[in-house]
Amino acid sequence: MCLFQFQSVMNYFPEEVLEHVFDFLTSHRDRNTVSLVCKSWYSVERFSREKVFIGNCYAVNPERLIARFPRLRSLTLKGKPHFADFNLVPDGWGGHVYPWIEAMAKSGINLEELKLKRMVVSDESLELLAKSFPNFKSLVLVSCEGFTTVGLAAIASNCRFLRELDLQENEVDDLKGKWLSCFPESCTSLVSLNFACLKGEVNVVALERLVARCPNLRSLRLNHTVPLEVLQKILVRAPQLSDLGTGSFTHDPDSETFIKLKNAMKNCHSIRSLSGFLDVNGRCLPAIYPICISLTSLNLSYAPGIFSNELIKLICHCKKIERLWILDTIGDKGLGVVANTCKELQELRVFPSDLYGVGNTAVTEEGLVAISAGCPKLNSILYFCQQMTNAALITVAKNCPNFIRFRLCTLDPIVPDAVTNQPLDEGFGAIVQSCKRLTRLSVSGLLTDQVFLYIGMYAEQLEMLSIAFAGDSDKGMLYVLNGCKKLKKLEIRDSPFGNMALLSDMGKYETMRSLWMSSCEVTLGGCKTLAEKMPWLNVEIINEHEAGEGEGEASCDDRHRVEKMYLYRTLVGPRKDAPDFVWTL
């Protein structure tokens, strides 16, 4: 059959068939693509799409979302820019979820899942959510803020079919409410419960009973107030768990409770993922050795109290680990052990334990090189280190051409090559040249424009780039903007890039989700120019100075450097909830 005939046959397929075919497309990117083929495909796709991902909540509004996807069941929303995680975005910037929930409630959307990242979630939002969607099943909040245990109580009380309540690293005001007791006796559907980020105590009796009546519970992550005795009882009731986050993991290792815990652990044959240890005594770690052999994911990055030798002993049992998050207390030697033991390792994150520069030893380039040599499946790394060398990075690049994410963070943001004192341009250059599938990159250390030349030249698949204290001139930023065709998110701080780079290819920003520039050389005038020429962009200036101070001529002076600028493409114009200190040009 020739192409023309095939095309006409496709057009005669009933919509149900098309819909069925589209069902197999799970990635939202694929769905976006098919919706561009023709009007009928657009129409079929939009009525059949149940899961929507919105990477920037201000790129679109709730009304348009609902109008296009009336069958929406699952929504993912991201709010604040990434650098908000590091205190670069003042409080009150925005990212409120309430309007979205309100609009969906009014329109009769049958919402079942909501996943939010870096958004402001008020108790009112949670209450409205809980009461408006009778089939609501899953709430995942990552790095959000604005709610208290009152809101959680509303979710627990009202969501009769709740399967998942997953709170990851949120700032929650713990009003010591009994939110956990609010799960009614009739609630037996929980599959996943994660309250590790809560600071206050929970009703442990209610917790045990909840666990006992939810036979499908697979994932449970406790907070640090849940003592080891309770953990032991929970494990006895829920040996089917596959993902466990311990609360406090400290007890007298000779006590009967501890022995009971060890036995309970041995019985948990399904645990594949382990985290928590928010409060830990290294001598209690042997209790988990029996499950280490089957673990694929281990997160010890909140446990500075585990010493290097204890960590190493533990790691030796973890031969099947694929994802490992640890602290740099493990040391280069410990990383060597990881390299020898964890041959299935795919993702490694080494976080800093010494955040205030008191002088604890961190890891160096040696550890990274060892890992790259020993772990052939490694494709994602986040590495906070004391020092780095070009030679090491070049070796790593040769050993691991499969990196998808490569994030290196030197504790001193502009430290040069520890051996040669040169910038780290060549090292990162080797990474981008070798890793053809790299989609995310964070650079640090002493860097000149040269590294950006390499990035622009070689990082063809790069979607997200984070730059801090790097580069010499506008050329650096230009290399990146001209070269990285798939760039979606660019975030830059404290680098000498100015208007020339910003304005050279303004159309580029419509192909990207967002650009963040803070403490750079960009001026108010440059931003204004950009905003004028590009109506589909919101160019926001964050001005944190007090009203009156620096206002009037000074702040309106186009030659003034802009402290923080965040621009993003949008279909709906300037946002209406911007606070005083955010100025949309």
Partner 1 sequence: MRHVSTLFFLKQTISDYIYTPFSANTLFFLSPFHYHIINYSSIYFHWNRSTMVDTVTITTLDVEETELRLGLPGAGDKKRGFEETVDLKLNLSSKDAPSDQTHFQRENVTDDAKTSSAKPPAKAQVVGWPPVRSFRKNVMARSAAEESAFVKVSMDGAPYLRKVDLKMYKTYQELSDALGKMFSSFTIGKCDTQGMLDFMNESKLMDLLNSSDYVPTYEDKDGDWMLVGDVPWEMFVGSCKRLRIMKGTEAKGLG
* Sign of CA pseudo-dihedral 234, 145, 76, 135: positive
Residue 321 or 467 having the CB closest to partner 1: 467
Instruction: State the minimum distance, in angstroms, from the CB of residue 405 to partner 1.
Output: 15
Among 301, 434, 514, 529, binds partner 1 (CB under 8 A): 301
* Sign of CA pseudo-dihedral 234, 240, 245, 246: positive
Q: Burial of 133 by CB count in 10 Å (0-12 exposed, 13-18 middle, 19+ buried)?
A: buried
Q: Burial of 233 by CB count in 10 Å (0-12 exposed, 13-18 middle, 19+ buried)?
A: buried
Subset of residues 484 to 513 that bind partner 1, contact rule: CB under 8 A? 493
Query: Residue 135: how many CB atoms within 10 A of its CB?
Result: 12
- DSSP letters, 365-423, are HHHHHHHHHH-TT--EEEEEES---HHHHHHHHHH-TT-SEEEEEESSTT---TTT---
Take residue 429 and report the two structure tokens written for it: 């250059």
Instruction: State the minimum distance, in angstroms, from the CB of residue 356 to partner 1.
Output: 4
Residue 91 or 510 having the CB closest to partner 1: 91
Among 23, 171, 532, 558, binds partner 1 (CB under 8 A): 171
Residue 351 or 454 having the CB closest to partner 1: 351
Query: Residue 86: how many CB atoms within 10 A of its CB?
Result: 9
| Choices 153-161, 175-183, 237-245, 246-254; region in contact with partner 1 by CB under 8 A | 246-254
Number of residues that bind partner 1 (CB under 8 A): 35
Residue 143 or 372 having the CB closest to partner 1: 143
Q: How many residues does the chain have?
A: 585
Q: Are 320 and 345 in contact (CB under 8 A)?
A: no
What distance in Å separates the CA atoms of residue 350 and residue 363, rounded to the nearest whole number? Answer: 9
Subset of residues 185 to 214 that bind partner 1, contact rule: CB under 8 A? 197
149 is a site residue for partner 1 (CB under 8 A):
no
Among 177, 290, 305, 574, binds partner 1 (CB under 8 A): 305
Instruction: State the minimum distance, in angstroms, from the CB of residue 306 to partner 1.
Output: 10
Residue 100 or 302 having the CB closest to partner 1: 302
329 is a site residue for partner 1 (CB under 8 A):
no
Q: Are 349 and 326 in contact (CB under 8 A)?
A: yes
| Choices 104-112, 288-296, 348-356, 451-459; region in contact with partner 1 by CB under 8 A | 348-356
384 is a site residue for partner 1 (CB under 8 A):
yes
425 is a site residue for partner 1 (CB under 8 A):
no
468 is a site residue for partner 1 (CB under 8 A):
yes
| Choices 330-338, 354-362, 392-400, 554-562; region in contact with partner 1 by CB under 8 A | 354-362
Residue 62 or 304 having the CB closest to partner 1: 304
Among 413, 496, 525, 550, binds partner 1 (CB under 8 A): 413
| 532-to-503, 514, 525, 535, 552 alpha-carbon distances in Å | 12, 17, 11, 7, 21
275 is a site residue for partner 1 (CB under 8 A):
no
Instruction: State the minimum distance, in angstroms, from the CB of residue 467 to partner 1.
Output: 12
Take residue 448 and report the two structure tokens written for it: 């000149």
250 is a site residue for partner 1 (CB under 8 A):
yes
Take residue 57 and report the two structure tokens written for it: 């909540």
411 is a site residue for partner 1 (CB under 8 A):
yes
Q: Are 183 and 156 in contact (CB under 8 A)?
A: yes
352 is a site residue for partner 1 (CB under 8 A):
yes
Question: Cα-atom radius of gyration of the chain, to the nearest Å?
Answer: 26
- DSSP letters, 507-557, are GGGGGSSEEEEESSB-BHHHHHHHHHH-TTEEEEEE--SPTTTTTTHHHH-
88 is a site residue for partner 1 (CB under 8 A):
yes
Strand segments, DSSP code E, in 435-536 are 440-442, 464-468, 489-493, 514-518
Residues near partner 1 (CB under 8 A):
83, 85-88, 143, 169-171, 197, 248, 250-251, 278-281, 301-305, 351-353, 355-358, 384, 409, 411, 413, 468, 493
